[in-house]
Structure 1
Amino acid sequence: MTPMTARIQSTFPANALDWLVGAKGGHVLALGRTCAPLMATLDERGDILTAADPDPSGVRRLLAHAPRALPTVSEASALPFVPCAFDVVLINQSFHTLNAGAALPELARVLRPGGHLAIAYTIRDDSVPWVRRLVKLMRTVDPDAMAGDYGSAAVDHLAESPYFPEVERKDFRLWAPTTRDGLIDMVRRRFPRLEAERLNPLLTEVEALYESSARAPEPLLLPYRVACWRGYVDHTEFTSALNLPDDGLSISLSRHPLSDASRPG
């Protein structure tokens, strides 16, 4: 087997985030706590950030990475913003948790003309030979192991929505380094209640797989595909016009704002 020697990139690819969000310095609504790993990079880009989650703990998680973001506790289907408030609404790894029928019209409402909804899912790439071998090993003890149901199929609702008639997709590569002990621990955690007489032989085979696939001293690289979508808003489906306020961006925080005391210090 040929070891993987691609350039290591264990964080969300910057070029993927640039493609998702577009021009720097725009008004971006980061929707959901799963956007937290992206917040620091968005802040560094100079984007004007609003952090929203249905739970205050989720908003605090977002603010921990971008303290200057405007905090808002709200549901995706009932956002406390005037129409046309944002250039981009960003959702990372959690679109499938939304009620698309209720959320998509609301997301369209708060996007300015020409704005877009950005959705990302990081998905393990099982096409690499050593990963296929790992999956085969793990399925000897659990046929459903590493099934990889990430929820990305829910993005089909975006393509079906009249509020987002134009949808683009682009995939990016991400490589996550893992050591021998890291790979063994990952498998061990996957089977916390597996009896020792079955677990130990499996871990021995996983260790052998690592040794035959890695090129020492480099770590083995676990491959992922970062699938990204941009859905461009169309306001013509609304029964009444959505107009940008005369003084530009206007955001109401009347719906459960976080107090200063709850923000991270």
Structure 2
Amino acid sequence: MNDAFPDSDPGVVARRAASFGKSAAAYARQRPDYPDAAVRWALEPVAGRAPLRVLDLAAGTGKLTEVLLRIGLDPSDIIAVEPDTAMLGELRRRFPSVRALEGRAEAIPLDDGAVDAVLAGQAMHWFDLDRALPEIHRVLAPGGVLAGLWNRDDDRVPWVAEMGRLSRNTASFGEWRPRELPKTAHFPAFERADFAHAHRRTADSMVATIGTQSHMLILDEPERETVVNRLLGYLRATPETAEGEFDLPLITLAARALRCT
């Protein structure tokens, strides 16, 4: 998913960042989750803590929360924080046993040292890191871990690259990595790892997934319809995607850093 390469124009970035709420239900249905292995890697530095308290920051509709539950965390040990009320409502509907709060990375509604890990799925590139990193440091317990995860279409695969071009998404897997995370006194070093992933799709559901990406959400309706029709035509004519279900190859990029005391 290619939202992690925002336009350089601050106004466009702001529109893209605020665009998801109007498609919250579609986002929940259509977006991929994250590989269990990537989430376990993110939590590895604190895996021995019991209970293991995890904050899903900028949680959206709960794609990462879903994986945390799947790998065995107790719902009472997960807190989800999300600024968009529509996305938050969808998360609460899907995971009523998880504590879900309205809040931002730059103003987290938790006490000091409240969690052992802060995870952000498909989100850290939207943060104001100068404000968010000190705030994340504040809510982390000593020795806690901060980790970001991003799903990226693997456009080393030719048909995936062409699909990206037709969707007018110019982010390139070959050029893109998680935004350069600054070395700070709070988080002096980030480790990185990549994980193979896939999303089972059809031509129609693939286009629906692309429709939940921020570069599509801010288009006016005639332009959006033009892109959708172009993509459907391409996918229905391409051997790898023309008949029934197929796997969209993804790479999940992960970065983690320990809280410096």
- TM-score, with length taken from structure 1: 0.66
Q: Secondary structure at the match of 1:213?
A: coil
Deviates more, 1:57-66 or 1:27-36: 57-66
Measure the CA separation in 1 of the matches of 2:211 and 2:66: 32
Q: Which of 189, 194, 207 is 1:166 aligned to?
A: 189
Residues 171, 225 of structure 1: 8 Å contact kept: yes
Q: Partner residue of 1:248?
A: none
Measure the CA separation in 1 of the matches of 2:101 and 2:208: 37
Deviates more, 1:108-117 or 1:62-71: 62-71
Task: Say whether 1:156 aligns with 2:185.
Answer: no
Q: Secondary structure at the match of 1:156?
A: coil
Match runs of 1:54-69 below 5 Å: 54-69=83-98
Measure the CA separation in 2 of the matches of 1:194 and 1:86: 44
Q: Partner residue of 2:198?
A: 175
Q: Partner residue of 2:240?
A: 213
Distance 1:215 1:113, change over 3 A: same
Distance 1:195 1:69, change over 3 A: closer
Measure the CA separation in 2 of the matches of 1:55 and 1:200: 29
Counterpart of 1:19, as a letter, is W
Measure the CA separation in 2 of the matches of 1:51 and 1:199: 32
Measure the CA separation in 1 of the matches of 2:162 and 2:236: 12
Residues 33, 64 of structure 2: 8 Å contact kept: no
Q: Secondary structure at the match of 2:105?
A: coil
Counterpart of 1:54, as a letter, is P
Task: Say whether 1:224 aligns with 2:247.
Answer: no
Distance 1:43 1:64, change over 3 A: farther
Task: Say whether 1:78 aligns with 2:104.
Answer: no
Q: Partner residue of 2:81?
A: 52
Distance 1:125 1:88, change over 3 A: same
Counterpart of 2:36, as a letter, is A
CA drift at 1:93: 0.9
Counterpart of 2:246, as a letter, is L
Tell me the alpha carbon deviations over residues 12-45 of structure 1, each in whole angstroms, 9 at most, x when there is no partner.
2111122223327410111123261122332341
Task: Say whether 1:36 aligns with 2:65.
Answer: no
Residues 29, 89 of structure 1: 8 Å contact kept: yes
Match runs of 1:49-198 below 5 Å: 49-135=78-164, 138=166, 145-148=168-171, 155-157=179-181, 159-182=182-205, 193=222
CA drift at 1:194: 5.9
Q: Partner residue of 1:241?
A: none
Deviates more, 1:109-118 or 1:65-74: 65-74
Q: Partner residue of 1:18?
A: 40
What is the alpha-carbon root mean square deviation over aligned residues? 3.6
User: Radius of gyration: which is bigger?
Assistant: 1
The count of aligned residue pairs is 215
Residues 116, 230 of structure 1: 8 Å contact kept: yes
CA drift at 1:84: 1.7
Measure the CA separation in 1 of the matches of 2:224 and 2:90: 37
CA drift at 1:121: 0.9
Residues 121, 226 of structure 1: 8 Å contact kept: yes
Measure the CA separation in 2 of the matches of 1:41 and 1:198: 32
Q: Partner residue of 1:245?
A: none
Q: Secondary structure at the match of 1:34?
A: coil
